[in-house]
Chain A
Amino acid sequence: MFIYFLKRSLVALLVAITVSIISFMLLHLSGDLAQSLAGPTASEADIIQVRKAYGLDRPLVVQYGDWASKAIRGDFGESFFLKQPVFPIIVDRFPVTISLGVSALLLALLVSIPLGIVAALRPNSWIDRLALTISVFGQAMPSFWFGLLLIMLFGINLRWLPVSGTGGWQYYVMPAVTLAYYSMPAFMRLTRAGMMEVLASDYIRTARAKGLRSMTVLFKHALRNAVIPLVAVAAVQLGFALGGSVVIEAVFSLHGVGYLGWESISRADFPVVQAIVLILACLYIVLTLFADLLNAFLDPRIRVN
């Protein structure tokens, strides 16, 4: 188990380093940084001065080393636009994005797992078909469009919820629903498929042959095995929700990290964009690692050898 954990961590670390190199390179490949920093009206001399001032004349490897060692300590430089250190700006916005991502994930799981179980118990019944229809829509509809539909219905027509902005829990309802609706179909189909496979397995027949109550068979023996693949997907979906919230936060003007990223892209605020990409990617890596460990915990075939 410890060896397994060590191996997985090592892989995660390698991925993180690769991601950091890519996000560093992205910036330097997108044109002459010094020129865009100095502005469109700058003279050749100004550009050279800026290049010197920001250390952009040094070899790339040195620049990367310098940048990475600072990044590890949370120093992502200064925002070009806000003229403030990048890291505190992002940290400030993080609670909004985390609340949105976590509540969307919980909402999606709470709806899709029971729905998936019912669909698996009664395949091809009306409830199974309804669930399938809902999930097809969820998968097919662009989430920004679904968000706009929600705004029209609940924000403008019914006036139940605030249309946009950042504030109390009411402001999170529609974004969370939008985000949840996007990941729900995958969870539901996975639960359904997993449950159907497990329910047809020999050990479920054994459990029934022991005379166990149907609830014990369903929840202790079936669900436990059926959710194992769901765990990995849920963790990845949370990573997706955190990264994918760029669009949702923009639609609902929810001032989280995603919104900051969107703003920064439109203002060409490279250090902020770079930091957000790196942080979200690392978060994603950590979540995947966490999912692997959770999987190992749930599946003794991985945990005990």
Chain B
Amino acid sequence: MSTVLEVQGLVVRIPLTFGDLSPVRNVGFSVSTGETLCIVGESGCGKSLTSLAIMDLLPSRARRTANRISFDGVDLTAIRERDMADIRGNRMAMIFQEPMTSLNPAYTIGNQLEEAMLRHRKVARSAARERAVYLLEKVGITAAGQRLKQYPHQLSGGLRQRVMIAMGLMCGPKLLIADEPTTALDVTIQAEILHLLASLKREFDMAMILITHDLGVVARVADRVAVMYAGQVVETGTAKDVFSRPLHPYTQGLLRCVPIPGRTKPGEHLGSIPGLVPNLIGEMKGCSFRNRCLHASVECGAIDVTLQQIGPEISYRCILPVAVAAAYGLEATKA
């Protein structure tokens, strides 16, 4: 397994009239070939902006800085837009949350699929069309040849998301970023799309970053998890570790909020995390979760809490000693 993407110290700033908004603060992670990394967190935690920042597709007002964004041997912080465009859709592809609006209504899906390949490969249109048909069949679309002539509005949401996935795969990318790919879909379709993504990842030997707020999704497909809160990664680990022994109080809180089959009794109240996400404008000091944390102390507001590295895979951003954190974690997953 080789590392495909390594991100260190990623910061996204949006200048506002009354100070800078920092929706992504010092985020770091890595993904390897054949691996699925789930970035999980609530709305506004900066997970989507993180993925857009990697693709260099941030809204024009947002500013990106990073110590390191290394993709497949290329330093993405140092290359020109022209070279980045050569990578996008080619070696690194992205799928978005809204399949209903992510396809251009004016062109057939065939045109939009072929275009993704014709841009990066010197192939004839017929070859691109063949590839499009092949991939549409791969993503489970029947009568693919006829589908090419259809327009997006003739397709259902689930079909459109399949088209988006096929489009991402046109050039055989090394990394596929899926930003909440199932959020806008019916629950039954969600499972199919997740299953599809997982099998395609194996078949095409890609690395995959799956952005989601849905812990159920994480449990189903993740190899490794990065939990984000208020623009920071607060915990990383293998999916197994994070689910069985969450270390960060936020992760513990999140796991209390979801029903666990076989453990949560009918009619039992689920947990919630009281309080609000902190304001991300201006300079921040201390742990950003402290005002909602069950275990917060004076110290939490006084120092900048850094990630504690526990073993090669596991880290968490909290001042609690690992033994104490783990004990709380076990309590949380039992409750």
Contacts and interface: CB of A to CB of B under 8 A. Distances in A.
Interface of A: 201-203, 205-214, 216, 221, 224-225, 298-301, 304
A45 B26 CA distance: 101
B101 A299 contact: no
A210 B105 CA distance: 16
B89 interface: yes
Interface string B74-107: 0000000000011111100110101001111110
A192 to B, nearest CB: 16
A206 B88 contact: no
Given A202-B96, A203-B102, A298-B106, A210 B89 contact: yes
Given A205-B57, A205-B96, A212-B85, 17 more contacts: A202-B96, A202-B101, A203-B104, A206-B164, A208-B88, A210-B88, A210-B89, A210-B119, A211-B89, A213-B85, A214-B85, A216-B119, A299-B106, A300-B105, A304-B150, A304-B151, A304-B153
Nearest to B52: A205
Interface residues of B, number: 29
B167 interface: yes
A301 B153 contact: yes
Contact of A202 (B102, B115, B120, B154): B102
A210 B167 contact: yes
B26 to A, nearest CB: 25
Nearest to B99: A202
B55 A300 contact: no
B217 to A, nearest CB: 21
A206 B181 CA distance: 13
Contacts of A212: 85, 89, 115, 119
Contacts of A221: 104, 106
The residue among A206, A212, A214, A225 with the most chain B CB atoms within 10 A of its own CB is: A206
Contacts of B89: 209-212
Contact of A211 (B96, B104, B119): B119
A133 to B, nearest CB: 24
A202 B98 contact: yes
B104 A209 contact: no
A202 B85 CA distance: 18
B116 interface: yes
Contacts of B104: 203, 206-207, 221, 225
B5 to A, nearest CB: 16
A301 B164 CA distance: 19
Given A304-B151, A304-B154, A206 B102 contact: yes
B101 A209 contact: no
A300 B89 CA distance: 26
Contacts of A213: 85, 119
A140 B93 CA distance: 49
Nearest to B105: A301
A109 B88 CA distance: 35
16 contacts: A203-B104, A205-B96, A208-B88, A209-B88, A210-B119, A211-B87, A211-B88, A211-B89, A212-B85, A212-B119, A216-B119, A225-B105, A299-B105, A300-B105, A300-B108, A301-B105
Contact of B86 (A203, A211, A225): A211
B12 to A, nearest CB: 16
Contacts of B164: 206
A183 to B, nearest CB: 25
Interface in B51-76: 55, 57
Contact of B106 (A202, A206, A214, A225): A225
B101 A201 contact: yes
A298 B105 CA distance: 10
Contacts of A203: 101-105
Contacts of B120: 211
A135 B103 CA distance: 33
Nearest to A210: B89
B90 A211 contact: yes
A255 B233 CA distance: 76
A195 to B, nearest CB: 14
A27 B105 CA distance: 49
Contacts of A205: 57, 96, 102
A10 to B, nearest CB: 26
Contacts of A208: 57, 88
A301 to B, nearest CB: 5
A124 to B, nearest CB: 12
A302 to B, nearest CB: 10
A149 B295 CA distance: 78
B106 A210 contact: no
Interface in B123-178: 150-151, 153-154, 164, 167
Contacts of B103: 203, 206
A211 B102 contact: no
Nearest to A199: B60
A216 B164 CA distance: 19
Contacts of B105: 203, 225, 299-301
B93 to A, nearest CB: 7
Contacts of A301: 105, 151, 153
Nearest to B93: A209
A209 B119 CA distance: 12
B94 to A, nearest CB: 5
A210 B151 contact: no
